Structure 1
């Protein structure tokens, strides 16, 4: 029977893998057996301080072995982890502490110029009615476990069930205010387990991903994925091209997952640094693989998911080409996830029709802070994702962007994702980003295209006319030399507002076909 809670999982993996490294950072190496003992000791410190089952504990800390230990220690006693971004400004931090009703806050003093505890000192205590203690991370490191608390830890661990909440994970907020999404031990572990094969994670994997642990991409696809598979996770506080390449080489990393643009940035520096990346295996982001191991564009699935699904819920084996008819898709829904497409009339749409993606199943969110179930789910239990897509006749999901990204041109609907996919098929185009550009005569299609100076806006427009209906062909063009020129937010997602501003500027200065 698969492990149902994090405590069961840690005990099982310690017995199976012993001294094998579970997490490595530049300053620490922690094996599975050591992870079991150190997180049990750390849990006793939390219990001594008054943390118990259901207590919500906020965590502000950069990636590292210590982050892993804290998260697992809290989970073992049934406390609820609330990972908080190291990028938060004071007002954003206050809002998330209130939204999640955080009772204990554990934080580093400073990271990359942010002094989180100083920020909170100027805020009246009445603004945090649930907050009982703010804990500097250094103070936690000096605490010693009590014997009585050890017995309580074991007793608490036995009471934790798959239905108990594990984490309140905030969304990135790229299209609105961040939401505090609640996941349980059962649904989170189930979601991660369902995607392991598609992400090529096995006990032999040495996994590196640059995503911060405070997002589901780091916590679920990194920490819990390694723990479930019995793999080794390699991480660092601040990814930088040279140090990251040296870390990949020194630790013989076999799987690099994460954002494609980060892999591309590393690839550009690899020859200069002279790092040996020969340990990387197929399934890694292809920019870091030898040319002969790379697939044709669109042949491999782009794993697709969201915080509310605890990461990817759709995919295909990352080292395997999909059937040609499915190229450009996100693969198929994983076991435990039901996906349907709903039209503007609220009814399920037939294969091939574009509509809102809705998801249902045991691996979806348990709720959102301060929201009722009736606000979140349809009467028959589906969660409306706000994403647009279509399913083909074989069940492959194609992504078409966000519902709020969709716009009208002369009364006709334009899906940015559809236009982007078409532009990426043009020879010489490395990437494309599409959004609406407002003007005196209404909305127009704007496209920022990465093509390393090989093509002009006029050439791109001629090629696009052969691929798209006239109303979908971009009227405003911006030619970029590199993906690094694309504006992004803190989580790596494209900042659509800034992209739109760049396109409007390009339009005013005459950079259009």
Structure 2
């Protein structure tokens, strides 16, 4: 783990290509190297230095990349903030991370971000994006080491308060590098990724993956089928990653895109490049592991015995399964809690001690359920707090979701417990009778949903500030549904 953001930027400066492209502008590797150095020195001139916590609140684009990497280059701690936050949620995260300087847009998509500075004792200054971008310095930058903090990334599960997860330059870059082959990202890749940069899926799998590979990142702040198609064609995109539902919506609009390579989301691949259901791994990870820690090359079928799995843990990640009651290591094939350990995992969590974060052996309890097979492939079974009993039998929502997603015409499915029964919210144009009949062919009787909610648009699902489906809100919706 010898890299820092600054060393990678300097190493890549000689590449004669764009590093990031949005709908209006592009930044070459040389421009990114010089631009981040200039802005970083300008920030130092205002009193920001190594260890200063700097929040960034703005939509995807070349400006986000330049400002974020400038902050990281001088050794300040980047705190990406979601443009989906309500004012109260924003203030809570600013307090949690003790943000000292905030670079922010005034509004995005009609949402404004009023800041009550008097309630934030650590916050010294709020910067407009233009003011920050025009900073111009030439002085020396602090020396940054791989062990120095890089970012505080906020995350939450499907329920519960967000956590501020701390990562260092070394652990974050090493985690991203370990998954490049599984993501099929190389120097020749032109990657389209719409995921917000304020999530680890955008920052790690997008910005840092491209930076480490010497590839080109294509993004947009407001994806629509029309704008995305135009951008894909204009920028000759070869790899489409991101949200499956976005890919499916785009495929309904335009059909398969023959310019895309295997490893892209399959809804947009031509039929001859698609795999059979379950044959390809679903990259699996979390903010605490700085993205995927488990996978398999996205353009390659796994052995049939591993179909439906998340692939194998990447080099540098130690994964074990523990008994839910005793915490002891569980035998091969047994479902238990997934715990992770290694040089790529988080350095800590804001306002939480090491003893409250890691086990005595140094493992981080993920809260995810899974099992490892004899060949080391990891199968995910949902969250520990999602698992529930129906008539004494254990139901893993992820298993039911996989079955429902396999039904023709189903675009999304979410499953939870409702009044002691299996409840499912399904985005589809199919009827409940069709869904139930198809589910009987794939699931044991006690796993078949008895409480259904059919939706026509995934936007109708309740979501929290991190964009994940809010389980409490989902249960409330399903509780209003009638059992057929």
Q: TM-score, normalised by structure 2?
A: 0.95
Q: Do the aligned partners of residues 113 and 481 (structure 1) sit closer, same or farther apart at CA in structure 2, a change above 3 Å counting? A: closer
Q: Do the aligned partners of residues 172 and 248 (structure 1) sit closer, same or farther apart at CA in structure 2, a change above 3 Å counting? A: farther
Asked whether 1:206 is paired with 2:186, we answer no
- Cα distance in 1 between the residues matched to 2:387 and 2:144: 43
Bigger mean CA deviation after superposition, 281-290 or 107-116: 107-116
Partner residue of 1:139 out of 119, 126, 131: 131
Superposed CA offset, 1:326-358 (max 9, x none): 111111111111111111221111121111111
Q: TM-score, normalised by structure 1?
A: 0.89
- Cα distance in 2 between the residues matched to 1:69 and 1:87: 21
Superposed CA offset, 1:123-142 (max 9, x none): 252x2221111111122234
Q: Secondary structure at the match of 1:506?
A: coil
Q: Do the aligned partners of residues 23 and 496 (structure 1) sit closer, same or farther apart at CA in structure 2, a change above 3 Å counting? A: same
- Cα distance in 1 between the residues matched to 2:417 and 2:102: 41
Q: Structure 2 stretches of 5 or more lacking a match?
A: none
Q: How far 1:469 sits from its partner (Å)?
A: 3.7
Q: How far 1:71 sits from its partner (Å)?
A: 1.1
* Rg larger for: 1
- Describe how 1:92-491 pairs up with structure 2 within 5 A: 92-116=89-113, 119-120=114-115, 123=116, 125=118, 127-145=119-137, 150-153=138-141, 156=142, 159-270=143-254, 277-344=257-324, 345-425=326-406, 431-438=412-419, 443-450=420-427, 452-453=429-430, 456-458=431-433, 460-465=435-440, 467-480=442-455, 486-489=461-464, 491=466
* Contact 1:343-1:356 within 8 A present in 2 as well: yes
Q: How far 1:41 sits from its partner (Å)?
A: 0.5
Superposed CA offset, 1:202-239 (max 9, x none): 00000111100001001000000000000001111211
Q: Do the aligned partners of residues 129 and 480 (structure 1) sit closer, same or farther apart at CA in structure 2, a change above 3 Å counting? A: closer
- Cα distance in 1 between the residues matched to 2:51 and 2:135: 22
* Contact 1:263-1:288 within 8 A present in 2 as well: yes
Q: How far 1:56 sits from its partner (Å)?
A: 0.5
- Cα distance in 1 between the residues matched to 2:147 and 2:170: 6
- Cα distance in 2 between the residues matched to 1:35 and 1:463: 52
- Cα distance in 1 between the residues matched to 2:455 and 2:89: 33
Asked whether 1:496 is paired with 2:471, we answer yes
- Cα distance in 1 between the residues matched to 2:274 and 2:305: 19
Q: Do the aligned partners of residues 480 and 364 (structure 1) sit closer, same or farther apart at CA in structure 2, a change above 3 Å counting? A: same
- Cα distance in 2 between the residues matched to 1:420 and 1:142: 48
Q: How far 1:101 sits from its partner (Å)?
A: 0.7
* Contact 1:259-1:492 within 8 A present in 2 as well: no
Bigger mean CA deviation after superposition, 181-190 or 480-489: 480-489
Q: How far 1:111 sits from its partner (Å)?
A: 1.6
Q: Secondary structure at the match of 1:152?
A: coil
Q: How far 1:459 sits from its partner (Å)?
A: 5.1
* Contact 1:249-1:277 within 8 A present in 2 as well: no
- Cα distance in 1 between the residues matched to 2:168 and 2:24: 31
Q: How far 1:462 sits from its partner (Å)?
A: 4.9
Partner residue of 2:33 out of 33, 36, 44: 36
Q: How far 1:498 sits from its partner (Å)?
A: 3.4
Asked whether 1:85 is paired with 2:82, we answer yes
Q: Secondary structure at the match of 1:46?
A: helix
Q: Do the aligned partners of residues 426 and 81 (structure 1) sit closer, same or farther apart at CA in structure 2, a change above 3 Å counting? A: closer
* Contact 1:109-1:137 within 8 A present in 2 as well: no
- Cα distance in 2 between the residues matched to 1:207 and 1:343: 40
Q: How far 1:500 sits from its partner (Å)?
A: 2.4
Bigger mean CA deviation after superposition, 243-252 or 480-489: 480-489
